[in-house]
Amino acid sequence: MRGQLASDAKGSKPMKYQITHTNIFRYDSEVEQSLNTIRLKPRSGECQRVLSYDLNMSPQSMIKEYIDIWQNNVGSFYIAGPHKELIITATSTVSVQKAPYIYQINYSNEMRNIFTSQLFRNHYLPFLTTAELTTLTPAQVQEIMLAIDGKNDNPLELACHVMTYLHSVIRYDPAATIVSTTAKEAFELKAGVCQDYTHIMLGFLRQCGVPARYISGYLYVGEGDDLIGDTATHAWVEIMVPGIGWIGLDPTNNVEVLDNHVILSVGRDYRDVSPVEGVYQGGTHTLEVKVDVKKIEHL
């Protein structure tokens, strides 16, 4: 099956994108001793290649780059002197090649035996454990389970059902939640943004024993596409299916993740993948984020 899927993917035409991601921090007074961590360089993998990456910032600073425990590209920098504004702009060119296949997967007895094994559980334990942002109450888990008439014997089928359910009952509303809103709170509101859809879906799947991880990335929305999530970084879920690998599902849009999704970072929840985070000495700040994803036409 893996060979067939790989063949299908190679037969699809790769998509190429130029992504410009700008973060502008404006401080109410001069600040100093600013120590920051950034995750702005997309990942390279089986279906995605980073062709170029450029980072500019003002004030300028030396960047120390490294790979974190989740295999994300991370940079850290320190600005000692006083400044009233910090501008960070990352420009990437990325090629993505991915064909639809989730509805072609035949979940075999061999896959089921691996999925229920203790070795499989142990290996993916970080993505089976819930934390503050991804924990749902038992009543909420039961509410979702009853709504989708869920069974745990086929993780991909279960995940597709919960994706469709959340898309139908959660209202997309940027004003409803903030970055620290938990899955439990967002599900009570039945409203939120892509981060909330993702945290809720992660919490449910992990309670059902399905390894699932948080993906931060970008979404290309072409003319006439009825998709949400291109004004800032986007978020979606990946689940681990034995014999296949990580499979992406986008509950905000109720779609399989294909070549219009660009992976930036991977983690257990948003706290593992925040594009820019840091500390500084001084007053309060505001943040403006601009994301532009342009399709590069093939010559």
Sequence-ordered list of residues with C-beta below 8 angstroms from that of 139, at least 6 positions apart, any chain: none
pLDDT in tens, 110-149: 999 999 999 999 999 999 999 999 999 999 999 999 999 8
At 10 the pLDDT is 46
Q: Backbone phi, then psi, for 159, in 5-degree steps?
A: -65, -40
Residue range(s) of every CATH 2.60.40.2250 domain in the chain: 2-96+275-295
At 6 the pLDDT is 37
At 2 the pLDDT is 34
**CATH number for the domain formed by residue range(s) 2-96+275-295:** 2.60.40.2250
Give the residue ranges of the chain where pLDDT is below 50: 1-11, 299
SS3 category, 97: coil
| Helix, strand, coil distribution of the chain in percent, nearest 5 | 25, 40, 35
pTM flag (> 0.95)? no
Q: Is 231 left (phi over 0), alpha (psi -120 to 50) or beta?
A: alpha
Residue range(s) of every CATH 3.10.620.30 domain in the chain: 102-272
Give dist(CA 142, CA 153) in Å, integer: 17
Exposed (0-12), middle (13-18) or buried (19+): which is 115, by Cβ within 10 Å?
Answer: buried
At 225 the pLDDT is 85
The DSSP letter of residue 218 is: E
CATH fold of 102-272, please?
Answer: C8orf32 fold (3.10.620)
At 1 the pLDDT is 31
At 298 the pLDDT is 66
Give dist(CA 31, CA 286) in Å, integer: 13
